[in-house]
Amino acid sequence: MNKNSKILITGGTGLVGSSIVRNLLKKKYNNIFFPSKKEMNLLHRKKVASYIKKIKPDYIFASGAYVGGIEANMMNPINFFYTNIEMQNNLIKIADELDINNLLFFGSSCIYPKFSKQPINESELLKGELEKTNEGYALAKIAGLKLCEYFRYYKKRNYFTIMPTNLYGENDNFNSSSSHVIPAIIQKVNLAKNKKINEIKLLGTGKAKREFLYIDDLAEAAILEMKKNKKYSMINVGSGEEISILNLAKLILNIAGHNAKIKFTPNSPDGTPRKLLNSNKIMSLGWKPSITLVDGLKKTYNLFDNNKNIRI
């Protein structure tokens, strides 16, 4: 991949896609395409084929997906399964049909079994039952991963999958009905601070542990993988550190400078009890995270507080 390569990023306005675009622009890549949904709706096969045929990209970062937090996944498993299957099938199959040889598909750490051995190796895939609260989304992502794997093995395409841990950061989704855990907590903490409310309510018990990665660190990993990975069909990308939801909430309260009580709703699901990835493969390619959780949370909180570079 060189500075003049034609690079297509799907989902270029989302959390992952927009970060890849920003990072490529900083690195002076000058042939970047990140079409809007109107220009290339991944659910419409003919539009996908027409757009790809027109620009003939050398590389595709397939970051476009239908995503949401635990509540959204629980309420809409049909949409999370069907929509993602349709989007990724259209893109991956058409890329092959139009002889595009390089494609990076974005999976998710939720593809791994609920009770995987920790830290989770890529070999844990399909060795146990999935977490029910996001099963639909996970199954769709597994299908996309396997489709890339088949094209890699049977047709010698350089199609592979990156499995990021929980992501957050600039251009995150703060919609109260579909956000993930960090933007959800930031939103509640910020409201409590501004309204002088002395209690915030969070789902679950607070005991579940999660690993978090700032979005720009993922973008760096994805770009590096596209350049260097010729060996692996699937690669984990995580920070190597985990934190309980309770301690995460305390940290965000401290960053906000607000002293509120945290009340959990233990009748609500925690999701997978623990998800810590083994990221040795990506680190062997020369990557390591550069943004600490504290620094990333400070930046994200300030973006939300100033209503800048976020989605609601």
137: annotated active-site residue: yes
Note the pLDDT of residue 68. Answer: 85
Determine the Cα angle at 228 with ends 227 and 233, to 5°. 105
Q: Are the C-beta atoms of residues 245 and 206 closer than 8 Å to each other?
A: yes
| Beta-ladder partners of 159 | 103
Give the angle 155-226-37 at the CA atoms, nearest 5°: 85
CA distances from 226 to 101, 115, 118, 159, 233 (A): 11, 30, 27, 10, 12
Report the run of H or E that residue 105 belongs to, with start and end: strand 102-106
Instruction: Give residue 191's pLDDT.
Output: 94
Q: Which amino acid is at 55?
A: I
pLDDT tens by residue, the chain, 312 residues: 999 999 999 999 999 999 999 999 999 999 999 999 999 999 999 999 999 999 999 999 999 998 888 878 888 899 999 999 999 999 999 999 999 999 999 999 999 999 999 999 999 999 999 999 999 999 999 999 999 999 999 999 999 999 999 999 999 999 877 889 999 999 999 999 999 999 999 999 999 999 999 999 999 999 999 999 999 999 999 999 999 999 999 999 999 999 999 999 989 889 899 999 999 999 999 999 999 999 999 999 999 999 887 777
pLDDT of residue 177: 76
Q: Out of 29, 137, 168, 301, pick the active-site residue.
A: 137
Q: Which residues contact 112 (CB under 8 A, 6 or more apart)?
A: 120, 124, 125, 275
Task: Give me the helices (H) in the chain, please.
Answer: 15-26, 45-55, 70-75, 77-97, 135-155, 181-195, 215-228, 245-256, 280-284, 293-305
pLDDT for the residue numbered 262 = 97
